[in-house]
Amino acid sequence: MTFPIKNSGLASALAARGYSAPTPVQHAVLEAAADDRDLLVSAQTGSGKTVAYGLAMASTILGEAEHLPATRHPLVLVIAPTRELALQVHAELSWLYAPTGGRVVSCVGGMDARREQKLLAQGCHMVVGTPGRLQDHLTRAHLDLSEIEVIVLDEADEMLDLGFRDELDFILGKAPEARRTLMFSATMPKEIAALARQYQQNALRIDTVTRNQPHADIEYRAVRVAGHEIERGLVNLLRLHESRALVFCATRDHVRHLHAALLARGFNAVALSGELSQSERNAALSALRDGRAQVCIATDVAARGLDLPDLDLVIHADLPTNKDTMLHRSGRTGRAGRKGVCILLVPGAKRRRAELLLGSANIIANWEDPPTADAIRAHDQEKLLAEATRAAMPEGAELALAQELLRRQSPEAIAAALIRIYRARLPEPAEVTIQPTFTPAPRRPAQATNFEHGAGGHDTIWFRAATGRKNNADPKWLIPLLCRLGGITKADIGAIRIFDRETNFEILPQAQAKFLQALTASPRDELDIQPTTAPGPSRDPGPRPPKTKFTRAERPAGAKPGEQERRRKNKALKKGSGGV
C-alpha cells in the first residue's frame, strides 16, 4: 500500500523520511470519504497521527497546487496540550511541508514571546502552539485567525484533562465558522463528544484503536524488587539493557533523586519535569534523541505525544496511577513498527496494585527478578570477548603502535589494561535482593483485623518498633510502613501487639532473612526496629462489673454522686433561680 498523494512535494518529503506505506490512521484520513470534512479521530499512541493530519489538511490548503500560496495570516492552526508536543508537531510539519514552501511558526509557553510575535508579523502558513500562549497572542492582537482554513486539536482529551476548556473556547471562537476542524484524541470521553458537537459539522468518525488489546510491538515485564531497592533495580536494568531508556517517576522529587543518583554512578542521564525551564526541557530531549544521553528520568509530562526515535526501553520506577497513564507512558517505545520493552518495578507491597493495573489494560506481563550484579558482570565479560573477536586486524599506524606495545609489555599485560579501560567506563552494578516468588496468602480469619491481627507459629521471629499507643500507633499505617521498610508483603506479617510506647510484631519464616537484610541496609531514622522476644500472653480482664446506682439516701458516705444525681441537682438549681 502506498500513499495516495497527488502533491509531488509531500510525496518526496515522505520518501526522504523513509515512509513507504501509510499507517492505519494515515490511510483512513486519506480516503475519499474524508476529503474536506471535519474529522473526529481515535488513534493509538505512536500511530503516526501528526503526519496523518498533516496529509489530511493538504486537500484544503493546497488543492491541486504544488506550492502553498503567499499569505500574511496563517491558514492552519494546530493546538497541542504540552510544550514538548507542540514543538514536536512544529518539527514534523516543517519537514513535511518544506517542499511546498510551507512556513511553520511555534507559539508555546516558556519561549520568547517577542520572537514569536516577530515571526507571526512576518507571515506564515501554519501556527502550532499551546492553548495559553495562543490565547495570549490573540488577546494582544499578535495572531490573526481570519484566514484560518483548518484547525487541529491534537490530544484533545489531554487538553481537557489539563483544564484548557476555557482557552479552547476562546481560541475556536476567534476562528471563521467556515473551516475544517480535525480532532485527534486517544480516548473519547463524553467531554470530547460534547466539544465535537459544539465545534464540528458533520464530522467523520474514525477509530483505529483496537479495544482491549495491548500494543503488539511492546513486550511488558514486571520486575519484583524490595521496597528500598527501587534505585538498585533500576541501575541493574539500565546496565543490562544498554539501550536508550525513558524512566517515569510519580513526582518531581523522585525525578531529582534518581537523576542525581544515576549521574553519581556514571550514567549519561538527563531529567525532564514541569519545574524545568523550556530551554532545559528542550536540551534534555535533544540529548536523548541524538544519543548524548542514555537515559531520561521524567514525570508524566513526557507521557504524551513525544516521539523519541530509537527509544527501546520504558521503565516505570513508580507505578502509574491508572491504565491510561500506563499506556501513554509505555507508548513512548514500540513506535512506527519498532519493537520496544516496557518494565514495571514492583515492590512486594504493590504487587496486587500492579496486577490490577495490568489486568485493566488486558496486558500479560512476564514476572521476573532484577538482574544481579554477578549476572551483569558475566554479561560484560561476554560482550568484551565478543567485541574483541570481531575487531579487525590493525593496519598502518595501528599495526605499528600494536607492535610497539608488544615490545614493551607482554600480551597478558596489554589485555589486562584493555579490560580495565573497558570496565572503567561502565557504571558499577548494584547488589540486589532476590524476592521470593509470590504466592497468594490464605485469607485470614475475622479476628486478624484487630490489634492481634495474625497468629504466628513456633518459627516466627518477633521485632520491636519504637512506637505505641502514645504515638497513635495503628495497624492501618503500621503494616504498610513495615512492608516498605522491610521489603515484604502484608502476608509475611504475623501477630501485632501494640503497647503504650512500643509495638511488637512477628515475621513469618519465609520472609525473615529478607526482612533482616532490609533492616540492615535501610536507615532507621524513620522507625527504629529491633529484634525482640515474644511478648507474654495478652491479659483479658473480663467483662467489667455493672455500675451500682444509689439513691441519695442509699449512697455510701463519702461516695461521689453519679452522673444522674448531678443532672438532677443542676436542674433543681436552674428551676430555683427561674423567678429571680
Q: Which of 158, 302, 311 is nearest to 241 (CA)?
A: 311
Report helix, strand or coil for 120: helix
* Cβ proximity of 181 and 41 under 8 Å: no
Determine the pLDDT at residue 439.
45
Phi, psi of 2 (to 5 degrees): -115, 165
Asked if residue 435 has pLDDT above 80, the reply is no
Count CA atoms closer than 13 A to 540's CA, side-chain side. Answer: 3
Q: Mean pLDDT check: name the lowest of 81-90, 411-420, 502-511.
A: 411-420
What b/e sequence results for 323-356 when a residue is b if at least 16 CB atoms lie within 10 Å of its CB, and e otherwise? bbbbbbbbbbbbbeeeebbbbbbbbbbbbeebee
Q: What percentage of the chain carries pLDDT values higher than 90? A: 37
Nearest to 246 by CA among 163, 306, 206, 200: 306
Instruction: Convert the pLDDT of each residue in 334-359 to its tens digit.
Output: 876 678 999 999 998 898 899 989 88
Name the phi and psi angles at 299, rounded to 5.
-85, -175
Residue 515: exposure state from Cβ atoms within 10 A (0-12, 13-18, ≥19): buried
CB atoms within 10 A of CB 2: 10
Tens of pLDDT along 379-411?
888 888 777 777 767 777 878 888 888 888 888
Q: How many residues does the chain have?
A: 580
Rounded CA gap, 237 and 84, in Å? Answer: 27
The Cα-based distances of 390 to 381, 382, 402 in angstroms read 14, 12, 17
Per-residue pLDDT for 452 more than 50? no
State the Cα–Cα distance between residues 493 and 531, nearest whole angstrom: 14
Examine the pLDDT at 451 and tell me if it is beyond 50.
no
pLDDT in tens, 120-135: 999 999 999 999 999 9
Confidence of residue 440 (pLDDT cuts 50, 70, 90): very low
pLDDT digits (tens, 9 = 90+) for 157-177: 888 877 889 999 999 999 999
pLDDT exceeds cutoff 70 at 98: yes
Q: What is the pLDDT of residue 529?
A: 86
Q: What percent of the chain has pLDDT over 70?
A: 84
Beta bridge mates, 297: 247, 271
Counting Cα atoms < 13 Å in the Cβ hemisphere of 172 gives 20
Mean pLDDT of 187-210: 84
pLDDT tens digits, one per residue of 28-49: 999 988 988 999 998 776 678 8
pLDDT one-digit tens code per residue, 479-534: 888 888 888 888 888 888 888 888 998 888 888 888 887 777 665 566 788 888 87
What's the pLDDT score for residue 573? 59
Mind listing the domains of the chain with CATH numbers? 8-207 (3.40.50.300), 218-373 (3.40.50.300), 446-532 (3.30.70.330)
pLDDT of 442 reads 41
pLDDT of residue 171: 95
Residue-wise pLDDT for 221-257, tens only, equals: 999 998 889 999 999 999 999 889 999 999 999 999 9
The residue ranking higher by pLDDT, 389 or 16, is 16
What pLDDT score does 75 carry?
96
Q: Which secondary-structure segment (H or E) carries 89? A: helix 83-97
User: What does the pLDDT read at residue 537?
Assistant: 59
